[in-house]
Structure 1
Amino acid sequence: MTRAGKSGSGSDWPEALCAPVRHLPSHSHLRIALSGGMDSVLLLHVVARLYAHTGQVSAFHVNHQLQPNAGHTERFCQEICRELGVPLDIRRVIVSGRETPESDTSGGIEEAARNARYQAFEDILAPGELLLMAHHGDDQAETVLFRLLRGTGVAGLGGMPRTRPLGEGWLYRPLLNFSRAELQGWATAQGIDWVDDPSNTDERFDRNFLRHSILPLLKSRWPSLVSRIGHSARSCREGDELAGKLAEIRFHQCADDSGALRLSAVASLSLAEQKNLLRWWVKRHRHEPPAISDWPLVLADFMSAPADREPELRGPGFVIRRYREKLYLVPEFTALPAGKPALVPDQELVWGEWRLKLTGAGKRKTPAPEIRISTRAGGERIRPTPDGPSKSLKNWLQEKNVPPWERARLPLLLEVEDGHEEVVGAGDLWLSGKYCGEAPASGWRIVVERECN
């Protein structure tokens, strides 16, 4: 534990420190991310002084169970919250990759611990709640330099945003404009105790190397380094925001009614605008854009590959595919159930991204039909119009411009009678009049819905 040197009452807090905590976004409840370190303990004291009387404040400690003093830190957080009258929630997490603490290009245990921590934050935040984090200017400088060294773009060089959505609530960082030295000076003056994390001195971790070996050297040459980097980060964030607004304009110019991108429209954009549009498009679907070193080659493949080819761009959780002069962003789907499950009357069946249900309709009381769900096996035929000719399902789907990957996951509704199977529905594209409309001929109605990404 680090003791500041005196036992202060905290009655004379500097207004410079209190001001950003006074002016927070609207919220129904405040949570403080409490690590036990100097910055988070200082933030806890300020918040307790300004908001504890409201009864809408609590702290949240994530125990990564990585350090020998993890138990001591948890008990310290419990004690300081008890003294301040602030309720405390504790979450113990297991960090994957804990056996390889050394630095590596993937972020190693640092990134694994961060992911586990933020997942815990997402899990606990309810709608309207605001999570306060004590990141400061030095943290921002470390983040920007770290991302620069990893080859990030403008969005990454924007550093940590002051606020952003997190789970069902929001995250807010009120101390970003202060340096670590300023915060430690206030903590010392107020006599605040905190716990030092022993891993913070281990320079095998990239951020610790920057913090202890690189930033002090840079500061000795440029004393205003932290504020300079903070200014650059804000400029990058503004640039990224403008790029996002431009991408949205280009999206509305290039997209069809289904949200697919028309290649002819995309081809009219400059290379920079094409890259910007695709990155924005991926983020809009809540995915992370892949790191690509040769965007010109990827885009040229989409634009000029022969018609019989199906170029694609894969990223974490999604694929961008070309089909009939359009680009489609397709999520990675889960495996479909095996076999041919049957619909049970009035019970919803979840089948991949589809939800299907068989319900009684009208006053007719006929026995429930046997309706089973399956994918295409080949050779199926349907009768799209009651009095029209039957058609090959394969040809009909092609006429409807249904992309190949959707055809493969389209649920076929099979009516089974006397061992014979008849296709009476194809996803949400077509349903026989026997099972749809105000008065289905069978006396039963089938409801088919697809979850949208």
Structure 2
Amino acid sequence: MSLLNILKEQLSAEPLLSATHIVVAYSGGVDSHVLLHALHSLRQQEPRNFQLNAIHIHHGLSQHSDQWQAHCEQVCASLDIEFQTANVEVQSAPRQSLEAQAREARYNKLVALAPANSQVVLGQHQDDQLETFLLQLKRGAGPKGLSAMNRAWVVHCPLQSGKQVGFYRPLLDTTQQMILDYAQQHNLKWCEDESNQNTDFERNFLRHDVLPILQNRWPEIARSVARSAALCAGQQSLLDEICHEKLKPLKASADSLHLPALKQLSQSWLHQLVRYWLSELGIQSPSEAVLKQLKPEVLDAAADATPILQWQGWQFRRFDQQLFVIKAKPVIDNQVLVWQGEQQMLLPGGIGVLHFEPCSQADAESPTFDPIAGDLTLQFGGYSQRFTPKGAGHSKPLKQWFKQWGIPPWVRNQVVLLKQNEQLLGILIQGAWHPAQDYILGTRDAVVIEFSSPSEQKG
């Protein structure tokens, strides 16, 4: 079957059939160029109910990046295809490859730029699937990893409520040779990324040094491996259905699981369900070595212990008979900050921001103070001091109130104590205001304090 017929069949089925916009992730390389040209040709041959767009992501990782961007723009102009381009900045980070970071940045930008409910089509093909399978095999992956690349998936845009974008790989059953034959037949010109020749990258090492030997011995290996990947994907789908049902009674909250129930699971089910739970939360699972530490070091730790198991910026923590997964944040040592009249104060440890605004009418829901009465200080730590919350008939150390209120240890570290003239006005716990019993609302022309988390934007 020809490449055009393969695409024609897929345009007649979901998810492409109902897409109002089909967006080609257009790098300028031969794969995405052929995909763009073939989709354009099919629209020319007969009417199609979709808008064809192209998006080029400029990584700036090559000295030729500007030339590739200009090439893509020219090709789209010649085909009368709507073209968008955007720059992304990729910075090296420990324990993460530059290739992986560039891929994540590219997908994030594609989701942001693509129209809502569109399908972003990618140019990966059967030979790419073979490479991905072998890389996952080398890493010791299970069925999920050996499923290799998904054909279709949906991403929800975190910055635009309700927006979702579909991703689809229509060439996954197409060989690289079919793509090259199409390009030569239509006299296409494309960009060659010089980094594709660098065998220091694992994928390039496979492509240039390993796969030619395998394909020479077994010409059908790409097709066979694609079938194995599809079988693994099917098995993983069945396993996910079971995990979904088994996880329901284990959930204590969105980000926590019941500890006693987890401790009753076999090691295999414990690891499987934790991986599935993390995938629901959009968190990359830790390695098998880290998961093996979960039960002995966290679940089975002494009742009065506060164990921490960390990987790639995330932590497993235990509190109140629940297992939590939280974003790792730096521990804030005992600190005292003094307000100097600024409109905003950035709190340490990435907790958030305090905004100070003049107010003509006191608000009981927010801390309000009179700056003329003395310096306002923000204190972290010192939770042994006594505190009488509004409505309580007695005082006791803050740490005892934290225990009574069920405040986890990692949240206690971020509690802000607001003081004026050494008097504790109240405390902020994740932005919630808890005034002291003898706290008096500020007078007219006082200042109100508002809290915003790092994810919030204040206009």
TM-score (norm 1): 0.78
Query: Is the contact made by 2:147 and 2:230 (CA closer than 8 Å) also made in structure 1?
Result: yes
Task: State whether structure 2 residue 246 is matched by structure 1 residue 250.
Answer: yes
Asked if the contact 2:336/2:377 (under 8 Å) is kept, the reply is: no
Q: Deviations over 1:123-174 (max 9, x none)?
A: 5345334321111111111111112112233322111112234473332211
Note the residue ranges of structure 2 that are not aligned, 5 or more in a row. Answer: 158-164
Q: Is residue 19 from structure 1 mapped to residue 15 from structure 2 by the alignment?
A: no
Q: What is the rounded CA distance, in whole Å, between the counterparts of 1:271 and 1:55 in structure 2?
A: 49
Q: Which structure's relative contact order is higher, taking Cα pairs within 8 Å and 6+ residues apart?
A: 1
Q: Distance in 2 between matches of 1:38 and 1:448?
A: 50
5 Å-filtered alignment, 1:28-427, equals 29-50=21-42, 56-67=51-62, 70-92=65-87, 95-96=90-91, 108-166=97-155, 168=157, 169-257=165-253, 259-293=255-289, 295-333=291-329, 339-340=336-337, 351=347, 352-353=350-351, 360=361, 369=370, 373-384=378-389, 386=391, 388-414=393-419, 416=420, 419-427=421-429
SS in 2 for 1:293: helix
* Rounded Cα–Cα distance in structure 2 between residues aligned with 1:160 and 1:145: 12
Number of residues of Structure 1 aligned to a counterpart in Structure 2? 426
**Superposition RMSD in Å:** 4.0
* Distance in 2, Cα, partners of 1:310 & 1:38: 54
SS in structure 2 at match of 1:283: helix
Whole-angstrom CA distance in 1 between matches of 2:393 and 2:111: 54
Q: Closer, same or farther in 2 for the Cα pair 1:245/1:67, shift >3 Å? A: same
Q: Does the residue aligned with 2:191 lie in a helix, a strand or coil? A: coil
Is the 2:144–2:233 contact (alpha carbons within 8 Å) kept by the matching residues of 1? yes
Supply the distance in 1 between the matched residues of 2:256 and 2:50 (Cα, whole angstroms).
49
Distance 1:432 1:238, change over 3 A: farther
Match of 2:160 in 1: none
Distance 1:432 1:78, change over 3 A: same
SS of 1:256 mapped into structure 2: strand
Deviation for aligned residue 1:386: 3.2
Q: Which amino acid aligns with 1:422?
A: L
Q: TM-score normalized by structure 2?
A: 0.77
Q: Secondary structure at the match of 2:252?
A: coil
Contact 1:435-1:442 within 8 A present in 2 as well: no
Q: Residue 56 of structure 2 contacts residue 86 of structure 2 at CA under 8 Å; is this kept in 1?
A: yes
Deviation, structure 1 residue 50: 4.3
The 3-state SS of whatever aligns with 1:328 is strand
Change (3 A) 1:81 1:354: closer
Residue 374 of structure 1 aligns to a residue whose secondary structure is strand
Amino acid at match of 2:328: E
Mapped to 2, the partners of 1:13 and 1:235 lie a distance apart of: 24
Counterpart of 2:161 in structure 1 is none
2-side partners of 1:262 and 1:14: how far apart? 53
Q: Is the 8 A contact 1:121 1:167 kept in 2?
A: no
Q: Which runs of 5+ in 1 are unaligned?
A: 1-11, 99-104
Contact kept, 8 Å, 1:30 with 1:131, in 2: the verdict is: yes
1:179-201 Cα shifts (integer Å, max 9, x gaps): 22233333333443333334434
- Match for residue 9 of structure 1? none
Change (3 A) 1:59 1:107: same
Displacement of 1:263 in angstroms is 2.1
**Residue 85 of structure 1, CA deviation:** 0.8
Deviating beyond 6 angstroms after TM superposition, the runs of 4 or more aligned structure 1 residues are 52-55, 334-338, 347-350, 355-359, 433-436, 440-453
Distance 1:204-1:385 versus aligned 2 partners, 3 A rule:
closer
Provide closer, same or farther for how the CA distance between residues 67 and 331 of structure 1 changes in structure 2, counting only shifts above 3 A.
closer
Contact 1:35 1:61 in 2 (8 A): yes
